Structure 1
Amino acid sequence: MSTISIPDVSAELPGPWQPRELAVANDAVVRLARLHGEFPWHHHDEDELFLCWDGTFRLELRGRDAVTLRRGELFVVPRGLEHRPVADEPAHALMIERPETEQYGN
């Protein structure tokens, strides 16, 4: 058991859309990713929580208004809702989801 420095991990990420698993607690995993550009549209069979660590990004939601997240803000994408994160400038997000959640959806 040791502490995890989110700033250190974010500095070591190899590039956008390559999440790193930080911790597992109960039935959830915390992942950190650098976002830059447009991620493909996808959906999950479970909820997905996004927490903006730094920068700004938006979550485009199929059939709904996009949600813009700034540092310290979070949003839960409900299961089954097609979505994609989009970051015009580099940003970092923490995602809390099930360990089996596939990055590109179900």
Structure 2
Amino acid sequence: MTVSSATGSVSVPAAIAALPGPFQQHELATVNDTVVRVARLAGEFPWHRHDEDELFLCWDGTFRVELADRAPVILRPGELFVVPRGIRHRPVADEVAHVLLIERPETAQYGN
């Protein structure tokens, strides 16, 4: 279920509970030219890059965003980080964590 500001609200905890498994995204809302997605992180996601920036907002748990040729960024609940376009990266969660992603609708999960 996706909502816009005109159609109502969405429960992030309910959307998280409905996620089918690790790294499966669910689109929550469309905002201007972006979408808000939620995903469960568990383990290592493959290395990839995007042609656009990607925002990670830690909802719960703790995870890190590993970056090519840079120190990893550790995110805890309420913290966010923007991966600049073109940077190879991957999220890694040693234990289950949940993330909100803000990106363009055409952003491919596994990169360009």
Shorter-chain TM-score: which interval?
over 0.9
Alpha-carbon displacement from aligned partner over 1:45-83 (angstroms, at most 9, x marks no partner): 000000000000000000000000000000000000000
**Mind listing any 5+ residue stretches in structure 2 that lack a counterpart?**
1-6
Of 23, 41, 50, which residue of structure 1 is paired with 2:47?
Answer: 41
Alignment of 1:35-74 (within 5 A): 35-74=41-80
Aligned equivalents of 2:104, 2:69: Cα separation in 1 = 25
From 4, 21, 24, the equivalent of 2:10 is 4
AA matched with 1:17: F
Q: TM-score, normalised by structure 1?
A: 0.99
Asked if 1:17 is matched to 2:23, the reply is yes
Other-structure match for 1:96: 102
SS at match of 1:42: coil
> Shift of residue 2 of structure 1?
1.6
Structure 2 distance, partners of 1:19, 1:91, is 13
Q: How many residues align?
A: 106
SS of equivalent to 2:14: helix
Q: CA RMSD in A?
A: 0.4
CA deviation string 1:7-32 (max 9, x = no partner)? 01101101000000000011100000
Separation (CA, whole Å) in 2 of partners of 1:48 and 1:40: 15
2:83 aligns with 77
TM-score, length-normalised on structure 2?
Answer: 0.94
